[in-house]
Amino acid sequence: MFKIISKTLLAPNIWEMVVENPRLALKAKAGQFLIVMPEENGERIPLTIADFDREKGTITMVIMAVGVTSRKVIALEVGQSLYAMIGPLGQASEIDTNFGTVIMVAGGVGTAPIYPIAKAFRESGVKVISVQGARNKDLLFWTDKLASVSDEHIVVTDDGSFGRKALVTEPVKEILETRGSEIGCVYTIGPAIMMKFTTLTAKPFTQQYPNLKCIASLNTIMIDGTGMCGGCRVKLGDKVKFTCVDGPEFDAFLIDWDSVMQRQRIYCEQEKCSLNRYIETLDSKQ
Amino acid sequence: MPEQDPKVRAHNFKEVPLGYTAEMAMQEASRCLNCKKPMCRTGCPVSVEIPTFLALTKEGKFAEAAQAIKKTNALPAVCGRVCPQEKQCESKCILGIKGEPVAIGRCERFVADYERENGLVTIPEKAPATGKKIAVVGSGPSGLSVAGSLILKGHDVTIFEAFHRPGGVLMYGIPEFRLPKAIVEAEVGYLQKLGVKIETNEVIGKTITVDELLNEEGFDAVYIGVGAGLPSFMGTPGEDLGGIYSANEYLTRSNLMKAYKFPECDTPIVRGGKVCVIGGGNVAMDAARTALRLGADSVTIIYRRSQDELPARGEEVHHAKEEGVEFAFLTNPVEYIGNEKGMVCQVKCQKMELGEPDASGRRRPIPVEGSEFVRDCDTVIVAVGSGANPVVTKATPGMELNKRGYINANEETGKTTKDRVWAGGDIVTGAATVILAMGAGRAAAADIDKFLMGTQE
């Protein structure tokens, strides 16, 4: 169960891992997520589904080494197994064909989860403009893959080492300015700060285009992923929603982004302590 | 019953009561009058043969006593610890009218522990295989009880559990110091030895649906015992600050994910400092006592009614007080205030007074105008109940729910409005007790068996 079938380094510290899980692969839909545990005493962390193959019975996830848990997952070799993998969780993306054209805004590792959604839109006849951003050229991955499901594919880097030197918000603004009437929805997945600014970029255009939507996929603190812990709660307008059962995608215009970012930092000290301890154990083994 | 000293135990996760010795159990059991009409049995949701097991205990036949209990209760070591006996069997004991009732729960706990610790657990004979397959959704007390009953009838039983370890609330909710996890593992292991299959990491409603279990995976019946689930928040401003947990999250981190062993185990939890627990039920007591053991400087239970209305068991309140948990009665939080890191640092409270009785029969708490005050805190645990979890119910068309989202099931049989589907425990009743969930499971098992064997004729 949950055997690692293949493992590819996509960019420094970013790995693509294909995991055997026929039942999950059969059910997975674009936009959903899963929870993984690398080992028995490990943590449960949510990861968005990057791809799935129903025939081979596999799930693809893209994971960046950040804390102890992601590092422990990445440290698993082909043939080894995750301790647990649960899903598919959350609501699938609503592939609304009335959108006409969607802008898919992917930042950093967010390229992975945005790919299946872009693919689903394209397959259902919606025009896809993808805007893919990274800090620099080395951190870009899946550019060809994302381009293959996009009608237009714009790449930006913070330092201009590849594509255009810009933040993702710049092309988004230009597209909305020049052909906003064609755009039904701006979809954004990536670091919270990037999603926040994408939302802020799109928001003023709703005056001119009241039907314009903006959807963001959140990656929050979570334990069970089935509605039980409430750790993933997010303020959405005057309501509180659970990312695991109500999300992970929400109307980005309603998300309280500062609260989202604040909650992501709750354990930052413990995470540092845990990571240092892990690195020390690795060092002492060498 | 001997207990760990409160000052010592408030800093460890070892079990609080140390349990009877054999002599104590025999002596206590010998107090049973062996009434002609044993009222104690009527007080037990699973009708344990109490006089029979007490008679065996009195004679020192402890393993036989445990086996007598197991005829109707698959989890005696659990029930001996967490059942509210004072409201059930013991409340009906004749001796209780003038003095102390027989300590049935303590005797139950002793014989179950004795049987397990001495390797005397035997596997009872099962009925011949019927070829009928039953899926049980959820491995908490209700699901384990259904499985335990149906496996003995010769059916093929598979339990599906969403978490990575079975036991449901017994694993994630009830703390180690009240119910050691090794005991839950042993009781689950007993069911596995009986032949019950357990599939962890399977979220029914997501990984696979109830309809697929029935129509594609070849199950003849499904029992849903997924528990209540969604924790309630109060909508208090600032409730999204760091350091504010639902009791579910706090207890799951500590119990199931072993955050008390952080950083040896990877799951973190905010610990130490001043802790406030909101609510007065058993879960609030569990959270408060867990916070003490995680190194809190102080733990205060904030409850909007008075001591008399506390819904928690008397024994739990007593234990909490002994260990140093403080109580702020007639108090309600109205706002949480955070520091520059987004972590809670203060709670603004309001004093309450009791008015006329409300629908629950308890006097309604009314805010006292102008009584706001602020107290410092580093962690807040919100333990004010839960709502129905929609994961299974939303994915199961044709199964009627009530307006609060719980499953409409027949009170006596657990049958839902959907063909071949039964349900019981908290997903039907809303948050209740372990033993009531087990009672519902046992009743449903009888009805499922009747249905399966009836259709075969």
In this structure, the strands spanning A152-157 and A233-236 are: unpaired
Sign of CA dihedral A242, B340, B254, B5: negative
| Averaged pLDDT, B278-288 | 96
In Å, how far is B328's CA from the nearest CA of chain A? Answer: 25
Which member of B206, B242, B270 has the closest CB to residue A89? B206
User: Per-residue pLDDT for A271 more than 50?
Assistant: yes
Upstream peptide bond of B263 is cis (omega within 30 degrees of 0)? yes
| Mean model confidence pLDDT for chain A | 95
A286 is a domain residue: no
- Contact yes or no for A260/B260 (Cβ under 8 A): no
Query: Cα torsion for B21, B25, B26, B31, to the nearest 10°?
Result: 150
**Model pLDDT for residues A102-117, shown as the tens digit of each residue:** 999 999 999 999 999 9
Is there a contact between A69 and B241 if contact means CB atoms under 8 Å apart? no
With CA atoms as reference, report the closest residue to A157 among A142, A182, A178, A138. Answer: A138
Residue A17: partners with Cβ closer than 8 Å, 6 or more residues away: A4, A6, A7, A8, A60, A61, A62, A63, A73, A74, A76
Q: Which of A62, A89, A116 is the last residue of a domain?
A: A89
A122 is a domain residue: yes
The three-point CA angle A216-A218-A221 to 5° equals: 170
User: Per-residue pLDDT for B456 more than 50?
Assistant: no
**Distance separating alpha carbons of residues B167 and B196, to the nearest angstrom:** 13
pLDDT at position B358 is 84
Q: Which residues span the domain enclosing A63?
A: 2-89
Q: Count how many domains chain A has.
A: 2
Q: Which of A89, A121, A136 is the last residue of a domain?
A: A89
Is there a contact between A226 and B162 if contact means CB atoms under 8 Å apart? yes
**Distance separating alpha carbons of residues A178 and B35, to the nearest angstrom:** 89
The verdict on A77 and A118 lying in the same domain is no
Is there a contact between B241 and A262 if contact means CB atoms under 8 Å apart? yes
| Averaged pLDDT, B355-364 | 85
The verdict on A21 and A156 lying in the same domain is no
Q: Which residue of B has its CA nearest to A258?
A: B342
Residue B215: partners with Cβ closer than 8 Å, 6 or more residues away: none
A230 is a domain residue: yes
Is there a contact between A88 and B207 if contact means CB atoms under 8 Å apart? yes
| Averaged pLDDT, B303-313 | 92
Residue A255 banded pLDDT, cuts 50, 70, 90: very high
In Å, how far is A158's CA from the nearest CA of chain B? Answer: 28
| Averaged pLDDT, B71-95 | 91
Which residues of chain A does B261 touch, with a Cβ-Cβ cutoff of 8 Å? 41
Give the C-alpha distances (Å, rounded to integers) separating B282 from A169, A193, B3: 50, 40, 19
- Contact yes or no for B171/B184 (Cβ under 8 A): yes
User: Per-residue pLDDT for A285 more than 80?
Assistant: no
User: Per-residue pLDDT for A220 more than 90?
Assistant: yes
| Averaged pLDDT, A150-158 | 97
Residue B361 banded pLDDT, cuts 50, 70, 90: confident
Tokens of B37: 């009409």
Which residues of chain A does B242 touch, with a Cβ-Cβ cutoff of 8 Å? 262-263, 265-266
A284 is a domain residue: no
Mutate to test the interface with B, among A43, A226, A243 (most CBs of B within 10 A): A226
| Mean model confidence pLDDT for chain B | 93
| Averaged pLDDT, B94-114 | 94
**Model pLDDT for residues A186-215, shown as the tens digit of each residue:** 999 999 999 999 999 999 999 999 999 999
The verdict on A41 and A168 lying in the same domain is no
Is there a contact between A266 and B270 if contact means CB atoms under 8 Å apart? yes
Tokens of B432: 């209740």
| Averaged pLDDT, A13-17 | 95
- Contact yes or no for B133/B156 (Cβ under 8 A): yes
Is there a contact between A37 and B341 if contact means CB atoms under 8 Å apart? no
Is there a contact between A226 and B389 if contact means CB atoms under 8 Å apart? yes
Which of these ranges, A60-64, B68-72, B405-409, has the smallest mean pLDDT?
B68-72
Is there a contact between B389 and A227 if contact means CB atoms under 8 Å apart? yes
The verdict on A62 and A186 lying in the same domain is no
Per-residue DSSP letters for B344-389?
Answer: EEEEEEEEEEEEEE-TTSSEEEEEPTT--EEEE-SEEEE-S-B---
The verdict on A46 and A104 lying in the same domain is no
The verdict on A143 and A240 lying in the same domain is yes
| Averaged pLDDT, B252-268 | 93
User: Per-residue pLDDT for B151 more than 90?
Assistant: yes
Quickly count: other Cβ atoms within 10 Å of residue B19's Cβ.
17
**Distance separating alpha carbons of residues B265 and B389, to the nearest angstrom:** 28
**Model pLDDT for residues B120-146, shown as the tens digit of each residue:** 998 888 999 999 999 999 999 999 999
- Contact yes or no for B372/B350 (Cβ under 8 A): yes
Mutate to test the interface with A, among B200, B244, B255, B267 (most CBs of A within 10 A): B267
Which residues of chain B does A24 touch, with a Cβ-Cβ cutoff of 8 Å? 207
Number of A to B CB contacts under 8 A, please give it: 126
| Averaged pLDDT, A80-104 | 96
Is there a contact between B391 and A245 if contact means CB atoms under 8 Å apart? yes
The verdict on A73 and A191 lying in the same domain is no
Give the C-alpha distances (Å, rounded to integers) separating B365 from B280, B334, B347, B350: 13, 14, 19, 11
Written as one letter, the residue type at B191 is L
Q: Which helix (H) or strand (E) holds A23?
A: helix A22-27
User: Per-residue pLDDT for B235 more than 80?
Assistant: yes
User: Per-residue pLDDT for A169 more than 60?
Assistant: yes
Is there a contact between A235 and B240 if contact means CB atoms under 8 Å apart? yes
User: Per-residue pLDDT for B322 more than 90?
Assistant: yes
Tokens of A270: 């413990």
User: Per-residue pLDDT for A241 more than 80?
Assistant: yes
pLDDT at position A150 is 97
User: Per-residue pLDDT for B277 more than 70?
Assistant: yes
Whole-model pTM? 0.93
Strand order in the sheet with B421-423: B197-199, B156-160, B133-137, B221-224, B421-423
User: Per-residue pLDDT for A227 more than 60?
Assistant: yes
A273 is a domain residue: no
Q: Which of A32, A58, A89 is the last residue of a domain?
A: A89
Sign of CA dihedral B331, B332, B338, B342: positive
3-state secondary structure A46-107: EEECCEEECCCCEEEEEEECCCHHHHHHHHCCCCCECCEEEEEECCCCCCCHHHCEEEEEEE
pLDDT at position A163 is 94
- Contact yes or no for A108/A190 (Cβ under 8 A): yes
The verdict on A77 and A103 lying in the same domain is no
Which member of A83, A227, A235 has the closest CB to residue B164? A83
**Distance separating alpha carbons of residues A199 and A189, to the nearest angstrom:** 11
Length reported for chain B: 457
**Distance separating alpha carbons of residues B386 and B343, to the nearest angstrom:** 24
The verdict on A240 and A104 lying in the same domain is yes
Q: How many CA atoms, within 13 angstroms, populate the side-chain half-sphere of residue A6?
A: 9
Q: Which CATH number belongs to the domain containing residue A181 in this structure?
A: 3.40.50.80
**Model pLDDT for residues B423-451, shown as the tens digit of each residue:** 999 999 988 888 889 889 999 999 999 99
A76 is a domain residue: yes
The verdict on A141 and A81 lying in the same domain is no
A62 is a domain residue: yes
Write the Ramachandran bin of B25: left for phi over 0, alpha for psi from -120 to 50, otherwise beta. alpha
The verdict on A185 and A252 lying in the same domain is yes
Upstream peptide bond of B2 is cis (omega within 30 degrees of 0)? no
Query: Cα torsion for A16, A21, A22, A26, to the nearest 10°?
Result: -70
For residue B295, the SS3 value is coil
pLDDT at position B455 is 54
Residue A175: partners with Cβ closer than 8 Å, 6 or more residues away: A103, A129, A183
Q: Which CATH number belongs to the domain containing residue A8 in this structure?
A: 2.40.30.10
Tokens of B148: 């335990």
Which member of A83, A230, A274 has the closest CB to residue B231? A230
In Å, how far is A272's CA from the nearest CA of chain B? Answer: 11
ipTM of predicted complex: 0.93
Tokens of B47: 């009708």
A184 is a domain residue: yes
In this structure, the strands spanning B221-224 and B133-137 are: parallel
The verdict on A15 and A129 lying in the same domain is no
Upstream peptide bond of A248 is cis (omega within 30 degrees of 0)? yes
